[in-house]
């Protein structure tokens, strides 16, 4: 068991855990944004989807697992950042990355902290928001569709979500290809492709969420 502890506390071990937990969170984001797209299908479809999620007996274990992955990712990100600052308290005289990499990499911890506060804000605002009752196909459920449209009538909420999605895009633009690089996919032929895919992925996820926000704000007006 000692080798496991040595691996988990080693620099490469911590980075591997960050990369793997990051991939898990990115998969969640893909599923989440696809689920949000059901807003465009109307109230019945969206409410049936949300009800199927919350009424699933596995929802609590899944939420606990997701929370665990999220906390593990945060813990190792902070741990790695502190170690890097301790090992290198002064910046290099010549930067080791080009300007295109700086925006994402230099602000990973900052954007990560902002996203932590956003997740809390999002859960409190949506999950624990007003429970409007409705019925679809004879099944009583929460009218989440109506609540979401109402929720995004607040300019402050729209502004907070828009800012947070931009931050998410910046975070993902570096996280995607960096995770592959950490796991050994690092080659002069493949890295440019991964960086391009990283930008496309960040635009797709952040842009998808923003599209849902705009739709909800417009539809509920």
How far apart are alpha carbons 98 and 81 in whole angstroms? Answer: 20
Contact 178, 105 (CB under 8 A): yes
- Per-residue model confidence (pLDDT) at position 10: 80
- Per-residue model confidence (pLDDT) at position 88: 56
- Per-residue model confidence (pLDDT) at position 105: 56
Contact 205, 169 (CB under 8 A): yes
Using DSSP, state whether 41 is helix, strand or coil. Answer: helix
How far apart are alpha carbons 85 and 160 in whole angstroms? Answer: 30
How confident is the prediction along the chain (221 residues), in pLDDT tens digits per residue? 677 777 777 878 888 898 899 999 999 999 999 999 999 999 999 999 999 999 999 999 999 999 999 999 998 888 887 776 776 554 434 443 444 444 445 678 889 999 999 999 999 999 999 999 999 999 999 999 999 999 999 999 999 999 999 999 999 988 888 888 887 777 777 778 888 999 999 999 999 999 999 999 999 87
**What pTM was estimated for this model as a whole?**
0.87
**Angle 180-185-186 from CA coordinates, rounded to 5°:** 110
- Per-residue model confidence (pLDDT) at position 72: 92
Q: Taking the CA of residue 220 as centre, how many other CA atoms within 13 Å lie in the half-sphere pointing to its CB?
A: 21
Contact 194, 180 (CB under 8 A): yes
How far apart are alpha carbons 120 and 131 in whole angstroms? Answer: 19
Total residues found in the chain within this entry: 221
Q: List the alpha helices (DSSP H) in the chain.
A: 2-9, 11-36, 43-54, 59-87, 99-106, 108-122, 144-151, 155-182, 191-219
Domain 11-87+98-219 top-level CATH class: mainly alpha
- Per-residue model confidence (pLDDT) at position 47: 97
Using DSSP, state whether 102 is helix, strand or coil. Answer: helix
Sequence-separated contacts (24+) of 155-158 with Cβ below 8 Å: 157/125, 158/213, 158/217
- Per-residue model confidence (pLDDT) at position 207: 97
**What are the domain boundaries of the chain?**
11-87+98-219
């Amino acid at each position: 068991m000692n080798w496991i502890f040595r691996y988990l506390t080693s620099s490469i071990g911590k980075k591997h855990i960050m990369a793997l937990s990051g991939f898990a969170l990115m998969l969640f984001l893909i599923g989440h944004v696809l689920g949000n797209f059901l807003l465009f299908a109307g109230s019945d479809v969206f409410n049936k989807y949300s009800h199927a999620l919350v009424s699933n007996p596995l929802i609590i274990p899944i939420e606990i697992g997701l929370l665990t992955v999220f906390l593990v990712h945060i813990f190792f990100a902070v741990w790695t950042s502190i170690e890097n600052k301790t090992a290198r308290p002064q910046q290099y005289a010549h930067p080791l990355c080009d300007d295109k990499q700086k925006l994402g990499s230099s602000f990973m911890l900052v954007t990560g902290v902002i996203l932590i506060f956003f997740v809390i804000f999002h859960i409190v605002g949506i999950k624990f928001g007003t429970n409007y009752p409705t019925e679809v196909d004879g099944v009583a459920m929460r009218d989440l569709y109506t609540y979401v449209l109402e929720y995004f009538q607040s300019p402050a909420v729209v502004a907070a979500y828009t800012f947070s999605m931009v931050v998410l895009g910046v975070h993902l633009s570096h996280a995607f290809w960096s995770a592959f690089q950490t796991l050994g996919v690092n080659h002069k032929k493949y890295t440019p492709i991964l960086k391009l895919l990283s930008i496309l992925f960040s635009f797709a996820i952040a842009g998808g969420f923003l599209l849902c926000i705009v739709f909800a704000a417009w539809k509920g007006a």
